[in-house]
Each structure stands twice: as C-alpha cells, then as structure tokens.
Amino acid sequence: MKALQKITHARLPLWSLPASWPKQNGAIALANIVFLGNKIDHITPSTLFENSPELKTATLALEPPFSVSAEHVLDVHGALVLPGLLDAHTHIDKTLTLGRIKEVKPGLLNAIQAMMVDRASWSEEDIRARASKALQWAHAAGVTHLRTHCDWWEPSTTPLAWHVIKDLALEWQSSIKVSRSALIPLTLFKEEESANALAKAVSQSNAPKHRASLGGFIHTSNWDPQALKHLFEAAERFELDLDLHVDEELNPQAQGLQSIAQLVTQMQFKGRVVCGHTCALAQKPEAEGLCILDQVALSGLTLVTLPVTNLLLQDATPERTPKLRGMTLVKEARARGIPVLMGSDNVQDPFCSMGSYDPLEAMIIGTPMGQLGQAFDVWSESICQTAWIESTLDAPQPQALEQGAKANLIVFKQANTIGFPSQTHPRAIVRDAVLL
C-alpha cells in the first residue's frame, strides 16, 4: 500500500473530459490527476498525448513498471484509467444459491418460483455468508458503489435480508457504498394503506448515509396502474427515491416505462427514479418506442440495462436457440441525454448462472450485445457514473472524476481503447489516494 499525491499520464475516458481538453490529430492528451487528502483536487492535461513515442517502451511491456516515486507520484505511462466502479443493480440477497437448487426451468417467472422455494430456508448466517462473498468479489474488481435489491414479498414483515444487508453496508462503508432498494411486487401496492405502510417501513430503516429506496416489480403479469400510482404517492409522502424493475419481458404491450414517465411528470416527483431492465421497449414499434424515450428524457429517469441476465432469461425456450436479446434501447436513450447504467444483476442464482460482481464483465457482454462503439470513451460511463443513481434535486453528488470526488481509481495495465473492455486484468486499484 502506497500513499499517492498524483497520478501522471493517465488516459481518461472522453466522457469525463471537458470539450476544451487538448487533442492533436485525433489523439487525446494524457491527464495528471492531483489528490488532496483522499479526494481529487484537480485534473490537468499533461504535455504527452496518447500516441506519443515516449510512451512506446512502457506500453509494449507486459507489466508496465508502476512504481511509486519518492514524491508519491504514480506514472502510468498512458494506461487507461477509470474512477472506482459502480454496480448499479445487483441482488446480493439471492446470490450464490444456484448450486443448491436442483431444477430451474427457463425464463424469469420460473426463476422467481425457484427463488421463492429457496428463500424459505434463508437464515441470517446464510445471507451474510453469501452477500459477504459478493462484496469481496466487488471490492476486488474495484467497485466503490453497489446498489442491491432485496426481495420483499410480505406486506407487513420486513425481510431478514433487509436487516442483514444494512449491517453489511455499515461494515463495508469505508470501501464500498452499499445502497438497498426494496424489491416489492406491484400487487402489494394495490391498497393505499399497504403502500404507505411499505414506504414507511423502508423510510424508517434509513440511516443518514445509507438512504434506501423503494422498489417494485412491474410486469404485464401484475400490471395495475392504480397500484403504481399508490407506489409513487407513498414514495413522495416518505421522501423516498425509487429503483424499479420495469417491463423485464419481451411483450410489446408492457406499459410500465411510459406510465412511470407520465407519473413522474404529472406529479413533479422530486426523488431520483431509476428503471432497470425495460427490455420490452425494444419490442415496441420503433416510432412508439422512441416516443416513449422522449417522455423518459423529459421526466429525468435513469435506465439500467442488465445484459448478462437478460440474455439468459429473455426469449428462453428449451431446445431452441434464442433469437432476441433483451436489451433496452440504450443507444437511443443515450442520444436523448438519458443516463444509461449497466449492472451485474443476478449472480449465480436461479435467474443467472454467471457473474462475478465485476461491472466490466457485464460490459464485456453488453458491448457486443448492443453493438456499442467506443466502449471506453463513451460507454464506460455506464459503470462509473454514481451521480446518475444517487444525485437528487435536494442532494446533488459530485460526478465521477470531478473535483471533490473520492480519489478512487483503477489503472488497467494491459487494456487499450480499441479492444476495451477486453484485457482489463490485471488492474492497479487506488482507493482513497492509496495504491493497494
């Protein structure tokens, strides 16, 4: 562990740099990042550009000599650098259960069924052991912010996992900011009274630095516009942000996303509203889908796409090769200025056999799935931009790589902008201005 005052010659992603940042024949100036305590003080262009001949020897080496000088300077010789990673949508209560579940039939609703059976035997020790492993993996990957949804299927009992994960969040707070969202079926918001009781329970479990959000599972199988209205009204009453599972299906009739955009606008809802999945949007007639996205842009929603799980769960029929992808309209959303995040979602549970709590693993699948160009310079923002999930009108947060943001950075020793997100191991991880 070595304390740092500065990182020099870092190749930062274009999304993080101002329009005035120097370029020379298309090559981008490398950055010097100066720390003050455990925060970023300022970032300035260095005199070297990404293709400067001076860098050649270092970038050709298999292991660049990342040694820290006596002045606490780490020269990364043009290596790609990102801020600490955000995993915007996970389920660490369910994780690592697949090994003990005998049979899971394909598709989302079958996975929910299998999970309900397993959940009946959860104990505090079991949840703690599995969720702790998830956080250890996330930490090793360079994650600094992780949002987890916790299953909440009873109207009047706060689930055990909700408490266990709150304890874990407090234990991990110096290295990973863990935030919780209650994953509640829309049917439990049918009555106004129970909607308020649920929002109250979520609100009461909030700690000053651990704001939990209210969530819901919204799907054509449980669609109820009145219940959705109750959910929003209850969130407003108890000043909760929302993080919802929306239209995780390929049914073009799904109405969750457009209804949410309309409600946010009508109510002038002040909290942050995050919508995960929204797979059905890509199945609607193109003009209709784009019109919905225009409403989404106006209402200030954040979208989260979950490539690995939705490739596995959507269009899942035994003995037939899937034809559809399950990714929402990410390019069209980004073109409208809608924040788009990418997360791990389920890891080694009935919903998804794969995963490791490394957002770059989600990206390595999401990049070809969405045919996303400029993965480093444009799309890496989707695994870094914590403000898109945390900032609200009342409590703005610094953007990643801004002055005042935590000095949490990842140096990719082997990766390059052409092949990214391939070759993102090994990583040098800097936390609180200390090279681990």
User: Considering only 71-79, 110-118, 340-348, 378-386, which stretch makes contact with Zn ion by CB under 5 A?
Assistant: 340-348
- The number of helix segments (H) and strand segments (E) in the chain equals 12, 19
Minimum CB separation of residue 249 from Zn ion in Å reads 13
For Zn ion, the closer of residues 40 and 282 by Cβ is 282
Write b or e for each residue in 286-314: b if 16 or more Cβ atoms lie within 10 A of its Cβ, otherwise e. eeebbebbebbeebbbbbbbbbbbbbbbb
CB of 214 to Zn ion, least distance (A): 15
**Pairing state of beta strands 177-183 and 85-90?**
unpaired
In terms of CB distance, is 247 or 345 closer to Zn ion? 345
Q: Residue 46 is encoded by which pair of tokens?
A: 């260095």
Minimum Å gap between C-beta 276 and Zn ion is 6
We find the least distance from the C-beta atom of residue 74 to Zn ion, in angstroms, to be 37
Cβ closest to Zn ion, residue 34 vs residue 365: 365
C-alpha span between 328 and 254 (Å, rounded): 13
- Between CA 289 and CA 284 the distance in angstroms is 6
- The CB density around residue 155, as the number of other CB atoms within 10 Å, is 18
The candidate with the shortest Cα–Cα distance to 149, out of 94, 96, 98, 188, is 94
- Is the Cα torsion angle 389, 203, 119, 255 positive or negative in sign? negative
Part in contact with Zn ion (CB under 5 A); list of ranges 70-78, 217-225, 339-347, 385-393: 339-347
Residue window 295-334: x/- pattern of binding to Zn ion, with contact defined by CB under 5 A: ----------------------------------------
CA–CA dist 295, 215 (Å, integer): 21
Q: Measured from the CB of residue 244, what is the shortest distance to Zn ion in angstroms?
A: 10
Nearest approach, Cβ of residue 218 and Zn ion (Å): 12
Q: How many residues bind Zn ion (CB under 5 A)?
A: 1
By C-beta, is 361 or 432 nearer to Zn ion?
A: 361
- Near Zn ion by CB under 5 A, which window of 151-159, 218-226, 341-349, 382-390? 341-349
Structure tokens at 7: 């990182």
Contacts (CB under 5 A) with Zn ion, residues 376-435: none
Nearer to Zn ion, 87 or 345 (CB): 345
Write down the least CB distance from residue 243 to Zn ion, Å.
10
Give the nearer residue to Zn ion in terms of CB position, either 118 or 402. Answer: 118
* Per-residue binding letters, 345-364, with Zn ion (x by CB under 5 A): x-------------------
CA separation (Å) from 94 to 128, 138, 168, 246, 316?
11, 15, 15, 19, 21
Query: What dihedral do alpha carbons 104, 106, 108, 109 form, nearest 10°?
Result: -70
Q: Give the residue with the Cβ less far from Zn ion, 211 or 245.
A: 245
Q: Helices 124-141 and 160-171 meet at what angle, rounded to 10?
A: 40
Nearer to Zn ion, 215 or 421 (CB): 215
Alpha helices in 215-255 (DSSP H): 225-237
How many other C-beta atoms can be found within 10 angstroms of the C-beta atom of residue 157? 10
Which residue in the shown chain puts its C-beta closest to Zn ion? 345
How near is the Cβ of 89 to Zn ion at its closest, in Å?
A: 6
- Which region among 7-15, 209-217, 288-296, 344-352 touches Zn ion (by CB under 5 A)? 344-352
Which residues sit at the interface with Zn ion, rule CB under 5 A? 345
